[in-house]
């Protein structure tokens, strides 16, 4: 019994760390039409383009970020 009490006592010394409030990575939703799948293109580190791949065929896609661009968050892409 003493052993269990000591473990409990020691466990109380460790406080739960606050969860990090990380920012979600910006992305665009994409319907890859020929492959009939949905996926995401994520904003690159330079924040100049959204980049990604079709999850089925692997074709790469890039959508540039430009001033006055679209407010849409969902697009269609044609893989083949």
Q: How many domains is the chain partitioned into structurally?
A: 1
Averaged over 34-48, what is the pLDDT?
95
In order of 2, 15, 63, the CA distances from 6 in angstroms are 6, 16, 58
At 44, the pLDDT band (50, 70, 90 cuts) reads very high
Question: Is residue 33 domain-resident?
Answer: yes
Residue 46 lies in a domain: yes
In a domain, 11, yes or no: no
The pLDDT assigned to 15 comes to 45
Q: What is the mean pLDDT of residues 39-48?
A: 95
pLDDT interval class at 13 (50, 70, 90): very low
Does residue 8 form part of some domain? no
For residue 25, being part of any structural domain is answered with yes
The answer to whether residue 67 sits within a structural domain is: yes
Neighbour-count burial for 17-39, b at 16+ CB within 10 Å, e otherwise: eeeeeeeeeeebebebeebeeeb
- Is the model's pLDDT at 39 over the cut of 80? yes
State which residues form the domain around 28.
Answer: 19-77
Rounded CA separation 15/39 (Å): 39
Q: Is 40 part of any domain?
A: yes
37-43 and 49-53 strand pairing: antiparallel
| Mean pLDDT, residues 45-69 taken together | 94
In a domain, 2, yes or no: no
């Amino acid at each position: 019994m003493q052993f269990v009490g000591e473990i409990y006592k020691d466990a109380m010394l460790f406080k739960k760390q606050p969860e990090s409030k990380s920012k979600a990575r910006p992305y665009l939703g994409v319907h890859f039409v020929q492959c009939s799948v949905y996926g995401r293109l994520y904003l690159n580190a330079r924040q100049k383009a959204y980049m990604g791949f079709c999850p089925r065929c692997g074709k790469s896609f890039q959508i540039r970020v430009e001033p006055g661009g679209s407010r849409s968050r969902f697009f269609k892409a044609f893989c083949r």
